[in-house]
Chains A and B, each alone.
Chain A
Amino acid sequence: MGRPGWTLWVVVVLIGDSLAGPYRPDAEPGPLETNNIEELEVPPELDGAMSDAELVPHHYPAQRAAKVAVHYLNTRHASPYSCIELNRVHKASLEDLGQAGKKYRLQISLKECVSNTDLGQCLAEVLFPGEQEQRAPQVQCSCEGLKKLNNRAEEDALFQRLNTSNSPLSGSNIPDSYGNIAPEMKPMWHLGAAAASFVMLKESNESTLYNMAQVANFTQLETENDQLRFKYHILLHDMISQEILHWKLLVAWSPAGGVSVPQADWEPKCHHCELPLAKSTPEATKPSSAS
């Protein structure tokens, strides 16, 4: 090749490289390993449906749907000694099912919040029902790393201690204004968050993003059916409306049975007082998120 040939080659390479776009050192990870993940079954009625619209993973529609998947996982796996948090959304797509609602398909990675360890990746499907139906989102997940969650020894010890104690445990303002949590209150805080996940899952839609802001207070009740029971007053924060929502929960837990929430009541905001919440007001209505 003569000199002009070399020059042409160099020019072609340079043009090609600049067209390829900037180097992204934190590029998306490679294709998900499917070895350990069961294939999600596609219901027959959706087979052959319209192809999904690709979503930007770090934009809010995918992020909100991912949060719902995490709430779902926490209802099944969280405990006084473990909780699941979203690490990242890697891929996301949205399928509009018309009256049936909106289905998000997500590839997410998770972290265990207490130990701050990696929990690997999940394929999640989050279906927000259509306007007509006032139902909770429907979630399905295939996750590779959740078997790692095992705090049975600590849970058993806590269960024993609380079950045999003479004085029922109670606490308030967890965390306190400075973000501090007494060590003995940490499991109760995590239990509150696990219980809160049930409410946050049920209340979620495409215009919400819930986190638990605080355990206002909790009190231990009589053990029933080999399950510890508690009254919890929790504060949820919805990032979209920015509101703080008060919920009173009845929470049941045992290491074998996991966490359940037999009763959950929303406490309407008292607009006319800055004091601790009074009883429900007659004009109480469910909060609706601001657009």
Chain B
Amino acid sequence: MESPVVAVLILVLLSGQSVTGRVLKQIVEPRKYDYTKYHPLSEITAWMKQIETENPGVVSTTIYGKSYENRDIAFLKIGLNSAENKKAIWMDCGIHAREWISPAFCQYFVKEILHTYKTDAKVEEMLKNLDFYVTPVLNVDGYTYTWKDNTTRLWRKNRSPPSTATCNCTGIDLNRNYDAVWGTFGVSTNCCSILYPGPKANSEHETRAVVDFVGARSKDILCFLTIHSYGQMILFPYGHPHIKDPNHDELTAVVKNAGQAIKAVHGMDYIVGALAEALYPAGGTSMDWARLIGIPFSFTFELRDKGEHAFELPENQIQPTCEEAYEGARSIITYVHDKTFHNITTLPNAATTLMATMWTVLLTLCLSSASLL
């Protein structure tokens, strides 16, 4: 063939204007994952494999359970110099199927710590001292179901079949199924209800996967983070209205600090507080269960927005939402890390108190000495 024709052909192929061109592009360029789009489960699973391949020695994937419909429930374990009994942070996303921004955040979080640990000494230190267990999608069946068509997009529960002879509806609310004052507040005994907590605590495959893994390592897990939407909140235990966490004051300070870290990014206000006070009483949540088995720092994030788009958050808000949530999560993780490894418990708020105190003293001394003259 003549060279100009060949040149044009190559240009067309490489420009991706043809199927062949696109295929060639994939081979020539490393696969670039788009963190600003929502991805179906198959793409997230492939992404997990890709992340593991691209970060040998730092990332490994583990299947730690199977859903009712027999799909894999898996996490990415991320850490430097991983060892047995290394302290860890747990993060799960997508326990509620329709909260698509949640899995998007887990993927962003993983990307961010892997992209920054080589240049950010603090992230590197935390990865050396801690392993991160990140589950991008916990409710794999429910999430898949929300991708089916327009009518399934707002599904919340898992896809367990009707559990009693008298009630003919599918699904259990996984965040009411944990053994933490199960079946009390914020639930309905009607199996058709979206808040149906199951026939008993831990009845669900997805619940038991978390309980078996986290339960066996509760001594080593310092912080349990579970990511939801919407509402713009950072919540701590308990959902049960009559139990107060013994470290309530410490947790209040930590989430206030996280809220400020979030606001500093894009100006968004997140309400912070105990679940039963800030949102509603609820029993059987994973956050409460984690706290009850002894994990001292257990938090629920409710990401954007405050109801304008609700669960259908526009893709152009994925990036800013993840950026601010990352700073919130990072501030909590940093606090937990520094408390454990450096015995530091001051937060920016506390440091400001010290400064204010010192200035008051100085001013008082000056005024006193002036009045003496």
**Given A23-B349, A290-B186, A213 and B154 touching (CB < 8 A)?**
yes
Bound-complex Cα distance A274 to B192 (A): 12
Decide yes or no whether A166 CB sits under 8 A from chain B.
no
Which chain A residues lie closer than 8 Å to B353 at the CB level?
17-18, 22-23
Q: Is the CB of A271 within 8 A of B192?
A: yes
Chain A: CB-nearest residue to B302: A239
A147 within 8 A of B: no
Contact A237 B311 (CB under 8 A): yes
> Does B23 lie at the interface of the complex (its beta carbon under 8 Å from any beta carbon of A)?
no
Q: In the complex, are the beta carbons of A9 and B273 less than 8 A apart? A: no
B315 near A274: Cβ-Cβ < 8 Å: no
- Contacts A17-B356, A290-B187 known; A211 to B307 CB distance under 8 Å? yes
CA distance A121 to B368 in the complex (A): 42
User: Is the CB–CB distance between B312 and A85 below 8 Å?
Assistant: no
- Interface bits B219-245 vs A (CB < 8 Å: 1, else 0): 000000000000100000000000000
Name which residue of chain A comes closest to B271, CB basis. Answer: A58
Are A13 and B260 in touch, CB under 8 angstroms?
A: no
Tell me which of A24, A88, A243 contacts B194 (CB under 8 A). Answer: A243
B231 to chain A, nearest CB (A): 7
> Across the interface, which residues of A come within 8 angstroms of B312, CB to CB?
175-179, 213-214
Q: Which of B304-323 contact A (CB under 8 A)?
A: 306-315, 317
Nearest residue (CB) in B for A213 is: B310
Cβ of A271: which chain B residues have Cβ within 8 Å of it? 168-169, 192
Per-residue contact bits, chain A 213-257, to B (CB 8 Å; 1 contact, 0 not) = 110000000000000000000010101111110000000000000
Beta-carbon contact of A60 and B360 below 8 Å: no
Across the two chains, which residue of chain B brings its CB closest to A244? B154
Count residues of B near A (Cβ-Cβ below 8 Å): 56
Asked if B357 and A18 sit within 8 Å, CB to CB, the answer is yes
Question: Which residue from B154, B168, B360 sits with its C-beta under 8 Å from A13?
Answer: B360
How many of chain A's residues touch chain B, expressed as a range?
A: 35 or more
Residues of chain B lying within 8 A (CB to CB) of residue A26: 260
* B306 adjacent to A86 (CB under 8 Å): yes
* CB-CB under 8 A for A113 and B193, given A6-B365, A290-B187: no
Provide the B164-204 mask, 1 if CB < 8 A to any CB of A, else 0: 00001100010000000000011110001111000000000
Within 8 A of B (CB), among A1-42: 1, 6, 9-10, 13-14, 17-18, 22-26
Knowing A179-B312, A290-B193 touch, does A274 contact B277 (C-beta < 8 A)? no
Contacting residues, chain A, for B368 (C-beta < 8 A): 1, 6, 9
The verdict on A13 contacting B349 (CB below 8 Å), with A56-B277, A60-B278, A178-B315 known, is no
Chain B minimum-CB-distance residue to A275: B151
Q: Which of A13, A181, A237 lies in contact with B364, CB distance below 8 A?
A: A13
Asked whether any CB of chain A lies closer than 8 Å to the CB of B8, the reply is no
Q: CA–CA, A269 to B37, complex, Å? A: 31
Known: A242-B195, A271-B168. A58 touches B152 (CB 8 A): no
Question: In the complex the two chains form, what is the Cα distance from A276 to B312 in whole Å?
Answer: 19
A213 engages B260 (CB within 8 Å): no
Mostly, the B contact residues are loop
Say if the beta carbon of A132 comes within 8 Å of chain B. Answer: no
A59 within 8 A of B: yes
Nearest Cβ distance between residue A269 and chain B, in whole angstroms? 8
Q: How far does the alpha carbon of A63 sit from the alpha carbon of B277 in the complex, in Å?
A: 11
**Known contacts A23-B353, A88-B269: A10-B365 contact under CB 8 Å:** yes
Q: Is B53 an interface residue (CB 8 A)?
A: no
- For residue A177, which residues in chain B have a CB less than 8 angstroms away from its CB? 38, 146-147, 150, 153, 312
Contact across chains for B314 and A10 when beta carbons are under 8 A apart: no
Interface centre among A211, A212, A235, A237 (most CB of B within 10 A): A211
Residues of B within 8 A of A161 (CB): none
Docked Cα-Cα span, A39 to B357, in Å, equals 40
Contacts of A239 in B (CB 8 A): 231, 279-280, 307
In the complex, what distance in Å separates the CA atom of A282 from the CA atom of B306?
35
Shortest Cβ distance from residue B160 to the other chain A in the assembled complex, whole angstroms: 14
Q: Let me know if A290 and B310 touch, CB within 8 A.
A: no
Establish whether residues B156 and A242, one from each chain, have CB atoms under 8 Å apart when the complex forms.
Answer: yes
The answer to whether A85 and B306 have CB atoms under 8 Å apart is yes
Residue picked from B194, B307, B360, most chain A C-beta under 10 Å: B307
Q: Which of A13, A18, A86, A275 has the most CB of B within 10 A?
A: A13
Provide the residues of chain B in CB contact with A83, threshold 8 Å. 308
Closest to B192 in A: A271
12 sampled A-B residue pairs with Cβ under 8 A? A6-B365, A6-B368, A18-B357, A60-B280, A175-B314, A177-B38, A177-B150, A211-B306, A214-B310, A239-B279, A239-B307, A272-B168
Residue ranges of A at the interface with B (Cβ–Cβ < 8 Å): 1, 6, 9-10, 13-14, 17-18, 22-26, 56, 58-60, 63, 83, 85-88, 113, 172-173, 175-181, 211-214, 235, 237, 239-244, 269, 271-272, 274-276, 290-291
Given A18-B357, A85-B307: 10 more A-B contacts, CB < 8 Å: A17-B360, A60-B277, A175-B312, A176-B312, A179-B315, A212-B307, A239-B280, A241-B188, A241-B195, A291-B186
